A = this chain, B = another copy of it.
Amino acid sequence: MIETLSEQRCHGGIQGFYRHQSAYCGSMRFAVYQPPQAGHGPCPVLYFLAGLTCTEETATIKAGAQRLAAELGLVLVMPDTSPRQTGIDGATGDWEFGEGAGFYVDATLAPWSARFQMHSYIALELPALIAAHFPVDASRSGIFGHSMGGHGALTVALKHPRQYRSVSAFAPIVASSQVPWGRKAFPRYLGTDENAWAAYDACELVRQQTLPGTILIDQGEADQFLEAQLKPELFDQACAEAGQSLLLRRHVGYDHGYYFIASFIDDHLRHHAKALGCA
């Protein structure tokens, strides 16, 4: 059961916003763009995971992805980044933890474990929901994301290596168990045993499991979080050691925001379209 919040014509297709009751996270919102081709049959589907403080609206409004998705015949799914209105004490008021900052993990510690199950939500529940309600060919799925959502895209794909044919990220957190954002959030979601953190660290995961195809990562050189939080060189190193094909592009002058994403979103859509067999 999904509730339609709004649907608007966009580039010949439909940009919609929806709400449903998740078994993992409670009431959740997500956005779906259906290209014109979806009116004639199932289309490949591409999931975008947004970053800290963002919602299902952020990339939908700011990334400008619908134009080329309409041309390529790609369904875009943009979920919210975390559970909302959880009522958990301490879940709001800190942009780096709690609501808006779920870090795409399945929390194991109370009280967070009751609602903060974003990994299972993204990897298991949402794809089934999308397949049941939208004209998608789930055998042709890709995933990408930004910052915390880039971490989400990489870790979800690496933990479910047969589920996505293509993966990419903008300015992702690649070594979540090593950087301040992860080291602040993971103890509360996952406990203080750092071994549990490795299951949500892209650098650790790629050493255990590589993916077919090339992972595309774009990174701005003027990104204010580059040195302390993102450290793409660690993933570059891990991929090299693991034999994972990676295309890491560094762009002079670009920062962490959506003008950066909008500047390179077309390259990402084409990267996925190629792997997903779009026309």
Contacts and interface: CB of A to CB of B under 8 A. Distances in A.
A255 B239 CA distance: 46
A9 B64 contact: no
B67 A9 contact: no
A256 to B, nearest CB: 10
A129 interface: no
Contacts of A15: 259
A59 to B, nearest CB: 12
Interface in A25-70: 61-62, 64, 66-67
Contact of A8 (B8, B10, B11, B255): B255
A18 to B, nearest CB: 16
Nearest to A9: B253
A266 B61 CA distance: 17
- Determine the interface band of chain A, counting residues with CB < 8 A from chain B: 20 to 34
Contacts of A61: 61-62, 258
A139 to B, nearest CB: 29
A12 B15 CA distance: 28
Interface in A174-192: none
Tally of this chain's copies? 2
Contacts of A254: 8-9
B263 A9 contact: yes
B66 A9 contact: no
Interface in A256-279: 257-260, 262-263, 266
A169 B150 CA distance: 38
A254 B257 CA distance: 29
Given A11-B263, A64-B262, 15 more contacts: A8-B254, A8-B255, A8-B259, A9-B251, A9-B253, A9-B254, A10-B259, A10-B260, A12-B263, A15-B259, A64-B64, A66-B262, A67-B67, A67-B262, A67-B263
Interface of A: 8-12, 15, 61-62, 64, 66-67, 220, 222, 251, 253-255, 257-260, 262-263, 266
